[in-house]
Amino acid sequence: MIFIVFFAEIGFSQNENYKKNEIAINIFSLSKSPDMTENIFKNSFYGIFLSNLSYKRFLNSKNVIRITYYRPFLRDYKSEDNNKLNEQGYKEKIYLKIGYEYKIMKNKKINPYIASDILYQNSEFNKITGNLSDRGRIIESSNKNIFGIALVFGANFKVYNNIYLGLESDIAMNYTMEKKESFSYCENAYCSNLIYSKNYHYMDYMINPVLLNIKVMF
């Protein structure tokens, strides 16, 4: 029934006067901090500027296909207090979304909408600890492949002609495949020993409470 209504709307609105394309650049995002990275992300949420670029194709005035690409993102931390080394690095290497958007209503100034995105993210986290004096090191790594479905609520605010300011919030339920490894390393003896290597599969969630975008429709 949902698909019948969806295609009926497309069929009966082909002649409407509407812009068919939209390009959006993210200005600022506030996102849930990744797990197990307490020294890099000290708060539950972190902010980032210019994080993504999105393209939307309007099937008609209400139904939209959307694609979002997130740029690679890197943060690190290093401490050498009391002869102890603690070096950490987090990197989002791939982050893509594709989904469907529905315009709830349309007026001259504000256009609210809901959307659903399918997402894929690949990230890695590395941690090196040890004593500075003897060069002994413990190297821990985590690599995640995340597949998820996000529910999105948003609105466009008209600024001038075809330029809009967009505000979104979303929450995603994810299936995560994670590989964790740990090595001991001693430079003086030229040794490297695998401590453990484990694979994990689990469900978790991701929240982006604030995404502020500047948009151009054409």
> What tens digit of pLDDT does each residue of 89-126 get?
999 999 999 999 999 987 778 999 999 999 999 999 99
Q: How confident is the model at residue 1 (pLDDT cuts 50, 70, 90)?
A: very low
Is 131 a member of any domain?
Answer: yes
| φ and ψ at residue 36, rounded to 5 degrees | 60, 30
Domain that includes residue 64, residue range = 15-217
Looking at residue 209, which CATH number applies to its domain?
2.40.160.20
Q: Establish if 8 belongs to a structural domain.
A: no
Tell me which of 67 and 75 has the higher pLDDT: 67
Residue 28 within any structural domain of the chain: yes
Q: How far are the Cα atoms of 95, 97, 117, 166, 183 from residue 67, in angstroms, in the given order?
A: 11, 6, 9, 15, 39
Asked whether residue 110 is domain-assigned, the answer is yes
Report the domain count for the chain: 1
Determine, yes or no, domain membership for 5. Answer: no
Residue 177 has pLDDT above 90, yes or no: yes
Q: What is the pTM of this model?
A: 0.82
Q: Is residue 35 part of a domain?
A: yes
pLDDT at 2: 40
Digit-coded pLDDT (tens) for 128-139:
888 777 667 888
